[in-house]
Amino acid sequence: MIATGDTKRHIEAIWRDISETLKSKGVVLHHNEGTADSGWMVIDLGSVLVHIFAPLERDYYQLDRVWDKAIPVVRIQ
């Protein structure tokens, strides 16, 4: 999953909400990496990675292009 937060607060809120929701459902979070200050955070769920980027970092890393041939499971805009 790739998401964009417009501000540091927004990135943290997305990360916190995803983490808390998954934990409440018994999903094990394997690892977290990055900080809102760096413009990138990731949640490792084992078979799923959740990337949360600031707009500049999302444009720089261009993970969307890496995965553009994959079949989307869900697209939320």
pLDDT score at 69: 82
38-55 burial, b at 16+ Cβ within 10 Å, e below that, comes to: ebbbebeeeeeebbbbbe
Q: Tokens 């409440």 map to which residue?
A: 24
Q: Is the pLDDT at 68 greater than 80, yes or no?
A: yes
Q: Is the pLDDT at 73 greater than 90, yes or no?
A: no
Domain residue extents for the chain = 2-65
- What pTM was computed for the model? 0.83
**Domain 2-65 of CATH type 3.40.1280.10:** no
